[in-house]
Structure 1
Amino acid sequence: MHDRPVILLVGGAHADVMEQEFRARYDRDYRVEAAVGAEAGLERARELVADKAQIAMVAAEHGLGDASAVELLHQVPAVVATARRIALVPFEIFGETVGELRAAALRRDMDTFVLLPRGPRDEEFHTALIELLSDWNWSVGRPVVTVTDVVAEPKDRDAAAIRDLLERLGFPYRSLTPADDAAAAVLEAAGPGAELPVVSTHTGRVLTAATPAAVNEAMYGGFDSIPDGVIADVAIVGAGPAGLAAAVYAASEGLATVVIERDAIGGQAGSSSMIRNYLGFPRGISGMRLAQRSRIQAGRFGAQFFSGRPAIRIEPGPPDEPEHHHVHVPGAQLCARTVVLSNGVTYRRLGVPGIEDLVSAGVYYGAATSMAREMQDRDVYVVGGGNSAGQAAVHLAKFAGGVTILVRRDSLAETMSDYLVREIEATPTIQVRTRTVVVDGGGDGWLRWLLLEDLDTGERTKTTADALFCLLGAEPDCTWLPEGVARDARGFVLTGRDVPREAWADGRPPASLETTVPGVFAVGDVRAGSMKRVASASGEGASVLPLVHAHLARLRAREFGA
């Protein structure tokens, strides 16, 4: 195995310029290989794969003489499915080829296309390359510099959940077994007889019998460190896109902001392998990167994050102290003048006993991006027809021998964005089975088989399966909310004019994102009527801030008798 991943350049008339540009920037960390012409490029890719080299990127000039970049890059996944593919276009032909290139990108014949540099310091060009290489290094290659070690026996379920948490948080880690030489120092620090999994965190703490919740709390500081007597201006419950947006805007506007998250910061969106329709990211962005950048942004404005424990109760402030809402988590509480509910939704459970017994042992709820590398050449099934399911299937197809999407409906188009439907149709290793459900499954401590039922004919078929990823749609987790917070028949929180008229105060409905409890707001997926999209959740998180400010102004006026 070669130490440095390969960037394969396939050039035409500008082959020398391409090679010079890439070697000047990337020759230290990547092995830059060059070929001239499409056929030579494909042959060199086959040789590298046979030599067990990791190909991180194939960059092809649009005009290759014997083919176009589009024609070449379309063939690359048959040789190496995980390589990022980019077309490099000379400026003089860009206008006449841009339509063809856009269509090819929509078909997923390539990841993106950029203009060839026309001079020194073309940072826009290198930004495109670095984004793709960063995505490859995180999802395919392993981080060279790590900050966390996880020591566990193979197939340890808690360790698998911890690794998935670290992936979603964007923390580079090493996965070790007790027999590995590198594990010795970690186990010594843990002390004799330490119970696995053992996790050494970036803060220097060593956790024994570690759980995802304990690791999560160790990353950001425990709830026990919340100072007594402190009243936050806004407490945000849930750190998905809506909660992160609210945190950024609240903290940037000088409000004392605290964010509580039971799971990984980023929520379900944080597990998305690639979000391609989010405003401002023309080449797409992974859910992990979006969450990571948003968390850092909010933190730099002063927002405080506490994760690893769920909110279990809210005590609304009494009429004589409306600014004292108390948010409780196990073993701690937080007092806040306003509360923003952005705790999102949970994936609906499949409800099949044989399947539920194998969660984290071949069965996963959510995208579980940390498991994708382990799916090399395996048979993988994805249950669900939403965007999250489509993104997971496309990502898994880069590794698995085959991916089968199972949906109850007649087609994916009813519930999935068009760009994802096209991407799935263009991926030969993905099969879609409509009107099909999982009715049973099992294995010897690990998933080995599934029993599928055709909803139209009732016919049942047993099939081998190495993994099942369940992304079945949304259910609100709102049973812990006080009775005064009105919800619809499905359990989603009602706000604004959706609140029953009998709950209006003085004949007026609450503000647009306010619940039936003054000073308690709801944004994102947890709110009844929301779009269940990352962009709309972020928009609601930003939009709630004027309402928070208005409520705080009323509290100040009350305090000073205005």
Structure 2
Amino acid sequence: MILLATDDAADSIEREFRARYDRDYRIEVAPDAASALTLLAELVAAGSPIAMLGAERHLPDSTGLELLHESQRLAPAARRVALLVTGEYAGAIDEMRRAILRRDIDTFVGVPRGKRDEEFHIALTELLSEWGWSVAGPVVSSADIVAEPGDRRVGAIRDLLDRLGMPNRTLAPDDPEALGMLELAGPDPVLPLVRSFTGQVLQDATPAMVSEAMYGGFDAIPDGEVADVVVVGAGPAGLAAAVYAASEGLSTIVLERDAIGGQAGSSSMIRNYLGFPRGISGMRLAQRSRIQAGRFGARFYTGRSAVRIERGPEHEPEHHHVLVDGAQICARTVVLATGVQYRRLDVDGVDEHVGNGVTYGSATTMAREMQDRDVFVVGAGNSAGQAAVHLAKFARSVTMLVRRGSLAETMSDYLIREIAATPAVDVRCRTVVVDGGGAARLEHLTVEDLDTGERETLPADGLVCMLGAEPSCDWLPDDIARDDHGFVVTGRDVPREAWIDDVPPASLETTVRGIFAVGDVRAGSMKRVASAAGEGASALPLVHAELARLRALQLRA
């Protein structure tokens, strides 16, 4: 459903919406705020999914902003758009900005004054696209899962598929639509089964198996190939490095053990990334970056972790060998972009329900299941804030549990203001989870006030854990130096004894020549999506310099 409240420009607004969206959406128009709210209540009661609400700035009985604010209690997951008629734009900008910060609207647009106002429709289709991915169920499934109800492995597979932007559905073994997959799997299928968009059916499926099936196996890497650059990790830093390397003609291979996009790929909405004034989900950002890198020629291999980096043999000492389970990739240069991973809560009563009410790192998969339920978020970074705001569109209540004294220590100001403007979100500082449990899935949590020591057991239907981050660097060789927290040191932070001829490595270069570190895995990095992408791009001049040095060595030889 798209519901419009419009008065002065009713004809032009209705005509514009119907011309573009009438095929895929049912469009309803109300002449004032009161009738719009009445109609909205009726539609919600009838079970109609509300994709978008649009309202003129001035209505006969109210303002559009008041209507859109009031509509949140009835349709919190709908996208809300303020429609500005001719002559209003300049005088309304400050008012609209304040409304965005209060989360009363998602965006504001000027009503088209003529034909082919594509900027108007880009704003609307971006919002509808994000609504379709994060709120609506898939119309066409790209991947089907067959599993017994309550199978904990399904949550991890669905999370992977959601982060890859692949619409999916889960079927019980006795579902008629599952019979075809069961027949293809043979006489004794081992659940869960996953059928990818290629038609391949995987048995006893894991996220790693599914990921590798989506992008091709490591066995497809030609024997003896030496890549100009191997990027380990496909978060924002690794994706940026891949885009720039491939676009400049370098043979580029990207390795990712999990979903392409890294931690950023699990963010429901990133609002402060340069060039996306209406925000962009982490999934969309990762998806577009992967496609962009792939069109330049970068190749992606996913589903297996890098386990070791070795120097090449004596006849090719300047090469690096990156080893994953069952495969070896040779590279002239390596860019480490493995990012960080969320720390485990290490509470037995909670961790035993991972996949059944408890998730680490991503709220998008869980969100639809939390309709009218009570959910908790552990963490105080931007990802935790984005998760809380997104969950509030579905859940009855969202409680953020924060170890620190305030969100301001670790979270961007715009997110703090969004959280404060979201009535369903409650923030409890100096509070930690100490216990939890349930029968088939999570049912309750016990939290402790760190100042008073008081404990309280609360009903809980869901828990999203985003508590702190640790680098995943145990697999790196000892000659790549790390700081006391395990982050890779580069440039002038490299220990003086590792400098060559008393000259420090290049700014992003590690203690091993030709191996660079970018993004969150690097000591001293900013831990933000934009800065990670910037470092990934900044590594390319250093890669070129190293390749030029290797060519010079070959010529002298």
> Unmatched 5+ residue regions in structure 1?
1-5
Residue number in structure 2 paired with 1:557: 552
Q: Determine which of 166, 172, 177 is the counterpart of 2:172.
A: 177
2:418 is equivalent to residue 426 of structure 1? no
Over the aligned positions, Cα root-mean-square deviation in angstroms equals 1.0
2:55 is equivalent to residue 60 of structure 1? yes
Residue number in structure 2 paired with 1:35: 30
Q: Determine which of 478, 481, 484 is the counterpart of 2:476.
A: 481
**Which structure 2 residues correspond to residues 323-342 of structure 1 after superposition, within 5 A?**
323-342=318-337
Distance 1:465 1:151 in 2: 27
Residue number in structure 1 paired with 2:284: 289
Q: Determine which of 384, 389, 395 is the counterpart of 1:389.
A: 384
C-alpha distance after superposition, 1:481-534 (max 9, x if no partner): 001000000000000000011111110100000000000000000000000000
**Which structure 2 residues correspond to residues 410-425 of structure 1 after superposition, within 5 A?**
410-425=405-420
2:518 is equivalent to residue 523 of structure 1? yes
What letter is aligned with 1:207?
Answer: L
Q: Determine which of 266, 270, 293 is the counterpart of 1:271.
A: 266
Identity rate of aligned residues, in percent? Answer: 68
Residue 331 of structure 1 deviates from its aligned partner by 0.6
C-alpha distance after superposition, 1:66-122 (max 9, x if no partner): 111111111111111111000010121111111111111111110000000000111
2:162 is equivalent to residue 164 of structure 1? no
Q: Determine which of 56, 75, 78 is the counterpart of 1:80.
A: 75
**Which structure 2 residues correspond to residues 365-404 of structure 1 after superposition, within 5 A?**
365-404=360-399
Residue number in structure 1 paired with 2:221: 226
Distance 1:212 1:35 in 2: 46
Residue 318 of structure 1 deviates from its aligned partner by 6.0
* TM-score, length basis structure 2: 0.99
Residue number in structure 1 paired with 2:508: 513
What letter is aligned with 1:210?
Answer: A
2:337 is equivalent to residue 350 of structure 1? no
Number of positions where the alignment pairs a residue of Structure 1 with one of Structure 2:
557
Residue number in structure 2 paired with 1:211: 206
Q: Determine which of 533, 536, 542 is the counterpart of 1:541.
A: 536
Residue 316 of structure 1 deviates from its aligned partner by 2.5
Distance 1:139 1:387 in 2: 18
Distance 1:268 1:527 in 2: 15
2:6 is equivalent to residue 11 of structure 1? yes
What letter is aligned with 2:237?
Answer: A
C-alpha distance after superposition, 1:24-44 (max 9, x if no partner): 111110000000111111111
Residue number in structure 2 paired with 1:472: 467
Distance 1:81 1:96 in 2: 28
Distance 2:512 2:44 in 1: 61
Tell me the SS of whatever aligns to 2:457. strand
What letter is aligned with 2:402?
Answer: V
Do 2:333 and 2:515's aligned partners in 1 also have CA atoms closer than 8 Å? Answer: yes
C-alpha distance after superposition, 1:380-423 (max 9, x if no partner): 00000000000000011111110000001111111110110000
Tell me the SS of whatever aligns to 1:96. helix
Residue number in structure 2 paired with 1:120: 115
Tell me the SS of whatever aligns to 2:124. helix
Residue 445 of structure 1 deviates from its aligned partner by 3.2
Residue number in structure 1 paired with 2:142: 147
Distance 1:262 1:22 in 2: 43
C-alpha distance after superposition, 1:4-50 (max 9, x if no partner): xx000100211111111111111110000000111111111011111
After the TM superposition, which segments of 4 or more aligned residues of structure 1 sit over 2 Å from their partners?
A: 316-323
Residue number in structure 2 paired with 1:302: 297
Do 1:322 and 1:337's aligned partners in 2 also have CA atoms closer than 8 Å? Answer: no
Q: Determine which of 479, 489, 493 is the counterpart of 1:494.
A: 489
Residue number in structure 1 paired with 2:439: 444
Residue 275 of structure 1 deviates from its aligned partner by 0.2
What letter is aligned with 1:428?
Answer: P
Tell me the SS of whatever aligns to 1:79. coil
Residue 51 of structure 1 deviates from its aligned partner by 1.4
Tell me the SS of whatever aligns to 2:154. helix
Do 2:150 and 2:440's aligned partners in 1 also have CA atoms closer than 8 Å? Answer: no
What letter is aligned with 1:274?
Answer: M
Do 1:190 and 1:206's aligned partners in 2 also have CA atoms closer than 8 Å? Answer: yes
Tell me the SS of whatever aligns to 1:312. strand
Do 2:159 and 2:362's aligned partners in 1 also have CA atoms closer than 8 Å? Answer: no
Distance 1:340 1:213 in 2: 22
Tell me the SS of whatever aligns to 2:301. strand
* TM-score, length basis structure 1: 0.98
> Unmatched 5+ residue regions in structure 2?
none
Do 1:327 and 1:335's aligned partners in 2 also have CA atoms closer than 8 Å? Answer: yes
Residue 320 of structure 1 deviates from its aligned partner by 6.0
**Structure 1 stretch displaced more, 316-325 or 493-502:** 316-325
Distance 2:23 2:553 in 1: 64
Distance 1:182 1:99 in 2: 52
Do 1:277 and 1:284's aligned partners in 2 also have CA atoms closer than 8 Å? Answer: yes
Distance 2:538 2:150 in 1: 44
2:308 is equivalent to residue 313 of structure 1? yes
Do 1:316 and 1:517's aligned partners in 2 also have CA atoms closer than 8 Å? Answer: no
Do 2:269 and 2:279's aligned partners in 1 also have CA atoms closer than 8 Å? Answer: yes
Distance 1:176 1:33 in 2: 34
Do 2:226 and 2:332's aligned partners in 1 also have CA atoms closer than 8 Å? Answer: yes
What letter is aligned with 1:268?
Answer: Q
